Amino acid sequence: MRCGLRMQTNRRLSLRLSASALIFALGLLAACSEPRDPPSVKSDDLTLKVPAIKEDVQHRSQSDIPLMVHDLDNDDPAVRFYAIEGLHRLTGNDFGYRYYDNEDERKPALQRWENWLKQHGGK
């Protein structure tokens, strides 16, 4: 019985040491990462742009709407997707815009967005 108890104690100690080593290693990795810029719709980096759009939607902030309308004409379909999702959630409109359409197919909806922007005090 004593031998079994000692084995359980050793296993627990081994698991604790493994968990501690893992936490230490993760801490080192986090400390070695590059500093990140704050989220911004102006960023070309999707990992910064997308959280900024989500924050705008969450806080109902319309200050970045002109940038999102501009992003509807971006070459990257992912940028266009997040831009139209943010615009739709903020304004309730999509004006028939589909991020996956080709450039010519997107033009009429993009023009509707630009007209909407002018009517609402945007650039």
72 domain residue, yes or no: yes
71 and 106 assigned to the same domain: yes
Per residue in 36-82, pLDDT (tens digit) is 788 999 999 999 999 999 999 999 999 999 999 999 999 999 999 99
Q: Clarify whether residues 22 and 68 are in a common domain.
A: no
- How many structural domains compose the chain? 2
76 shares a domain with 24? no
pLDDT in tens, 77-122: 999 999 999 999 999 999 999 999 999 999 999 999 999 999 998 7
Residue 40, domain member (yes or no) = no
Residue 17 has pLDDT above 50, yes or no: no
Indicate whether 41 belongs to any domain.
no
Asked if residues 88 and 65 have their Cβ atoms less than 8 Å apart, the reply is: no
Give the pLDDT confidence score for residue 36 in this predicted structure.
Answer: 74
Q: What does the angle CA 111 – CA 116 – CA 119 come to, to the nearest 5 degrees?
A: 130
Which domain does 23 fall in, by range? 1-33
